[in-house]
Amino acid sequence: MKVALTIAGSDSGGGAGVQADLKAFSAHGVFGASVITAITAQNTVAVTAAYDLPVPLIEAQIDAVLDDLPVDVVKTGMLSSSAIIEAVAARLAARPRALVVDPVMISKSGFALLADDAVSTLRARLLPLATVITPNAHEAARLTGKPVRDAAEAEEAARRLGEIAPAVLVKGGHLDGEAEAIDVLWDGHLIHKFEGPRITTTSTHGTGCTYASAIAANLAKGHALADAVEQARRYVSEAIRHGLQLGRGHGPTHHFWFLEGRDLFPYRSKR
């Protein structure tokens, strides 16, 4: 059994953050462990409050997991302050694993999940440790200081960020004017483009978390990077296509869409 560790914030609504990460790991047959960095009050409509956990507690969680479990890959999500980023980076540098960094910055409702003064810390301390980073267009623009509006600018951003991180996946869900959803991967040597139809739905809560976690799970299972991204993209596309109509806002993706219609409890009593 491969093991993946998520270091991220908790979503009380269950659709994003650590909750989404653990579901994606399980869906790929990978055991998931977690380190909570922040607690958010959140649902499908909005993030209404957030509380960062004390840095020593975050460090203790990381140590507890890595001291005991054979972690194959680490995925990071919401790391909201410079102090948290510094602590996580120091722990991961000392005990390196494959690392997927999802540079979470802002919620769909506009709630800031990364302090302004922490962006430079993220660039300097965590991105260089990553196996791959997975910014969306808005995050890539903030990290590069350049607009990312279409596939050409996404490719430029991926190459620019590739000067900091070994590999970069710029996700295309927020790109303007593209008939298809185009994700651009710079693997350190080549550009790979992954294209597919845009799915019309409001059930997209937790998509970025799920995608990055699926990539991490595939890396843990031994897939090469481009194949891990390809497999993760297929998975998350179906999770969106089968999205759940829950809540009054952006419903969650369906992490276990492939189990629909199956008898999950064949051992239950016939009485």
Q: What is the pLDDT of residues 103-131, one digit of tens each?
A: 999 887 788 888 899 999 999 999 999 99
Going along the chain from its start, the domains and CATH numbers come out as 3-259 (3.40.1190.20)
Please compute, for residue 237, the number of CA atoms within 13 A of its CA located in the half-sphere on the CB side. 18
Judged against a pLDDT cut of 60, whether residue 271 lies above it is answered with: no
Q: What is the pTM of this model?
A: 0.95
The rounded distance, in Å, linking the Cα atoms of 259 and 256 is 6
Please state the three-class secondary structure of the chain as a single string: CCEEEEEEEEECCCCCHHHHHHHHHHHCCCEEEEEEEEEEEECCCCEEEEEECCHHHHHHHHHHHHHHCCCCEEEECCCCCHHHHHHHHHHHHHCCCEEEECCCCECCCCCECCCHHHHHHHHHHHHHHCCEECCEHHHHHHHHCCCCCCHHHHHHHHHHHCCCCCCEEEECCCCCCCCEEEEEEECCCCEEEEEEECCCCCCCECHHHHHHHHHHHHHHCCCCHHHHHHHHHHHHHHHHHCCCCCCCCCCECCCCHHHCCCCCCCCCCCC
Packing angle between helix 151-161 and helix 137-144, nearest 10 degrees? Answer: 50
Q: What is the mean pLDDT of the chain?
A: 93
The rounded distance, in Å, linking the Cα atoms of 124 and 31 is 30
| Least confident segment among 21-25, 234-238, 263-267 | 263-267
Q: Residue 158's closest CA among 193, 138, 122, 184? A: 184
The set of catalytic residues is 171, 204, 206-209
Contact indicator for 82, 108 with CB cutoff of 8 Å: no
Q: What is the pLDDT of residues 200-259, one digit of tens each?
A: 889 999 999 999 999 999 999 999 999 999 999 999 999 999 999 999 999 999 999 999
Q: pLDDT-based confidence at 176, cuts 50/70/90?
A: low
CA dihedral (123, 193, 200, 232) in degrees, to 10, reads -70
| Residue 207 pLDDT | 94
Q: Residue 173's closest CA among 252, 108, 260? A: 108
Q: pLDDT-based confidence at 198, cuts 50/70/90?
A: confident
